[in-house]
Amino acid sequence: MSKTPEPSVAATLARNRMGVPSIVFWVVSGAAVLTVIAGPVTTAYQVTGFKGIPIAYLILLGILAVFGAGFVAMSRHVVNAGAFYSYVMQGLGRPAGVAAAAVAVVAYSMMEIGLLGGFGAIAQTILYVAGGIDVSWIWLALAGWALVAFLGSRGVTANGRVLAVLLALELGTVIVYDAVLLAHPAHGHYDLAPLSPASLNAAGGIAVFCGLLASYVPIEASVAFAEEAKRKAVARGYYWALGITGVLFAVSSWALPVATGANRIQASAVGNGNELMFNLVLPYLGQTFVDAGHVFFLTSLLAGSLGFHGIVSRYLFALGRERVGPPRFGRLKPNGAPAAASRSLSLVVLASLFVCYQLHADPAVTLLFRLTVVAGFGILLLMAATSVAVAVFFRGTREENAWRRILAPSLATLLLAMVAGGTVTQFPTMLAVGPGDVRGWAFPASFGLVALVGLAHALYLRARKPHVYAAIGLGASVPTAPADIEVEVPPGGLADGQWRLDATVQGHRR
């Protein structure tokens, strides 16, 4: 059509695909560092007094770097690269894949519930401190829920422009806060103990790993863009995003004990609650900067909740398309939103918030901290299963080098299993219950139960709906031939055959 040389398909597609900067920005801003530090990390200091959070973040960074080698390599070979369960399915088989999908849906839903509860708690504190208004957290959490439900059913995700700007501002704010805190160490010296592996040797410490792991979840999003990203951008994006977020988490979580003195971090957290970081920077930055921080804290709790809502909605959408879940979940609205999945999820989240309120759960401690730690344990199991799947997937092939094929996945599995084992033994401490208390092991065990339910469902599909079973894991590539739809013969009693359309093509304009 034009006289200039036509671009090739590859060149055109590459031009439209996401590059490393977009992926990194998406992931780093989605990590919501200020929210993580002022929220669950502060609560972790308060409840457990565990000083080793900074070094734990760095160790997790290392584990995720090893995990990433195999994970990113496999993303080049799988369809539906955006979901852990897809890797498990293509490496370990369909029943394991469905089990993994069930665990993922439950774990990510817990994250959404935890963040909404946290939103209610933080909003309650801010309203009270700033305006003297006393509103119960549940009403504020419900307001947040309504907004997430509305935006979720419209297909709005955290990479919309307005949210992207807010998250970027939040990132800038936390960097300023860190600089201020690190410039004013308590007693004038920098305590490096929180950065030392020796601090890990504390009661309840390992269990906190899971909560910190949940902070890294946006990293998974980098491979969600695998089909939409330039060829090498996924790997580079993953490692750059991992490195930047990991260092930010470590530095920011270290800045708090630096400012309070490492031995006083728990007492300070108890005394200030989630206002700790803001109260520490207030003398140096003034009220306006602190107010801005509060606003970003709240908006990114909502953005995080919306983000997890989007992840679960898309999981349910992919499962619905494959008929593993209800088929109506597999439908998109004209705005591109998996609205049916989103609405059902919103109802479940609403019921959960209500139940937590009835049980008098403390929203900051139980929802924002403990529930996200439990969710993190589920994500940990998913990642361990994914590592195993990567190793099995590449078995007998030479498409990738030995490090990516077998060494890195095996090492990652081992490390993640160690963290999982340590978590299970120390859960009672983290929950502040006695060693024999059922709550100490019920939460980790619940994921085992969820996986079994998923497994049973897959076996049911294999027995009763083999055509559905065969299509599991093909993701967006699943053809939608309605093998099991019966057509009513309309009134008029037309003979069979009159319905058939021309198999030959006329093709010319009438």
Partner 1 sequence: MLADDFFRLTHNDATGKPRVSKRVLSIGLAGALLGELVGLQLLDVQDVLVLQNDWMPADEIQRWMIGHLRREHYLPTRDWLAFFADAAYTQVGDRLAKNGHVEARKIGLPWNRRRSYFPVNMNTAAAPEAILKTKLRRVATGYPDDFGYEDTCLAGLVMAVGLEDWLLYDAPTPGAGQYLTWAVSELYPPMLRLIEHTKAAVAGLALAYRA
Which residues here bind partner 1, judged by CB under 8 A?
A: 1, 6, 8-9, 12-13, 16, 80, 82-83, 155, 157, 159, 224-225, 227-228, 310, 314, 317-318, 321, 331-338, 475-482, 485-488, 490-492, 494, 498-507, 509
One-letter identity of residue 426: Q
We find the least distance from the C-beta atom of residue 169 to partner 1, in angstroms, to be 21
Query: Token pair of 407, please?
Result: 């060494």
We find the least distance from the C-beta atom of residue 12 to partner 1, in angstroms, to be 5
Residue 8 or 288: which CB sits closer to partner 1?
8
Residue 1 or 359: which CB sits closer to partner 1?
1
Contact 329, 344 (CB under 8 A): yes
| Residues in Cβ contact with 215 at an 8 Å cutoff, skipping those fewer than 6 apart | 31, 36, 40, 57, 245, 249
Residue 134 or 502: which CB sits closer to partner 1?
502
Name which of 328, 350, 348, 352 is nearest 340 in CA terms.
Answer: 328
We find the least distance from the C-beta atom of residue 471 to partner 1, in angstroms, to be 12
* Cα-based angle 139, 142, 143 (whole degrees, multiple of 5): 90
Among left, alpha and beta (phi > 0; psi -120 to 50; other), residue 493 is: left
The CA dihedral of 488, 493, 498, 500, to the nearest 10 degrees, is: 0
Residue 37 or 163: which CB sits closer to partner 1?
163
Residue 359 or 501: which CB sits closer to partner 1?
501
We find the least distance from the C-beta atom of residue 346 to partner 1, in angstroms, to be 18
Residue 247 or 494: which CB sits closer to partner 1?
494
We find the least distance from the C-beta atom of residue 9 to partner 1, in angstroms, to be 5
We find the least distance from the C-beta atom of residue 311 to partner 1, in angstroms, to be 10
Q: Which H helix or E strand runs over 341? A: helix 339-358
For residue 257, CA distances in Å to 49, 297, 330 come to 11, 20, 48
What's the CA gap between 168 and 191, in Å, rounded? 30
Residue 120 or 473: which CB sits closer to partner 1?
473
We find the least distance from the C-beta atom of residue 470 to partner 1, in angstroms, to be 16
| Residues in Cβ contact with 56 at an 8 Å cutoff, skipping those fewer than 6 apart | 200, 205, 208, 209, 212
